[in-house]
Structure 1
Amino acid sequence: MKERIERLKKLTNIPHKEIVWLIEQAELAVKQREIIEENKRQQEVTVHQFRQAQKDIQHLSGDRKRYKQALEKIITNLNFAITVAQNELEGDVK
């Protein structure tokens, strides 16, 4: 695109106003293309971050499930220990 701009600058048979307008349009097109490319790049980064966040959530959900199961086992063991201790106390009281 920049080569075309330079060629337009060298043309002499086109009125100056039209050359200026064409150059401005070409430069605008180049800027728009750069903006579109940057937006695509940012979109790719965002998609990558989103997918990584999904993986993290799945991992944390798995951890949560394992912690919950471990906590349930601890509670069961504590309830059993309390029951045993209560039975021993009742045996000592009688």
Structure 2
Amino acid sequence: MKERIERLKKLTYIPQNEIAWLIEQAELSVKQREIIEENKRQQEVTVHQFRQAQKDIQQLSGDRKRYKQALEKIITNLNFAITVAQNELEGDAK
């Protein structure tokens, strides 16, 4: 392709078939640029979605940790209440 372009630069008159080739190359270039721009846009969207997903995961991990701690406290309190109730039942049985 480079050779063909260099050859065309040297011509004072450009044949019709060569002009058609130049137009085709220009159209291809425009299409390629559009594709590249669309790919960049999609990449930006993907990066944004990935970052948002990371934030969501961090938030959910924090929520999970807080819920786990709260559940452990509830279990501890229930175990204590069960122990107290068992002791009272044993005391009443005597």
Deviation at 1:86, TM superposition (A): 0.1
> Relative to 1, partners in 2 of residues 1:26 and 1:51: Cα closer, same or farther, differing over 3 Å?
same
Higher relative contact order (CA 8 A, sep 6+): 1
For normalisation by structure 2, the TM-score amounts to: 0.87
6-15 or 49-58, larger mean C-alpha shift: 6-15
For normalisation by structure 1, the TM-score amounts to: 0.87
Structure 1 residue runs without a partner (length 5+): none
Structure 2 residue runs without a partner (length 5+): none
- CA RMSD, 1 decimal: 4.9
Deviation at 1:2, TM superposition (A): 20
Runs of 4+ in 1 over 6 A off after TM superposition: 1-12
Q: How many residues align?
A: 94
> Relative to 1, partners in 2 of residues 1:84 and 1:39: Cα closer, same or farther, differing over 3 Å?
same
> Relative to 1, partners in 2 of residues 1:35 and 1:7: Cα closer, same or farther, differing over 3 Å?
farther
9-18 or 49-58, larger mean C-alpha shift: 9-18
> Relative to 1, partners in 2 of residues 1:14 and 1:69: Cα closer, same or farther, differing over 3 Å?
same
Which deviations, in whole Å up to 9, do the C-alpha atoms of 1:5-62 show, x marking residues without a partner?
9999999931110000110001000000000000000000000000000000000000
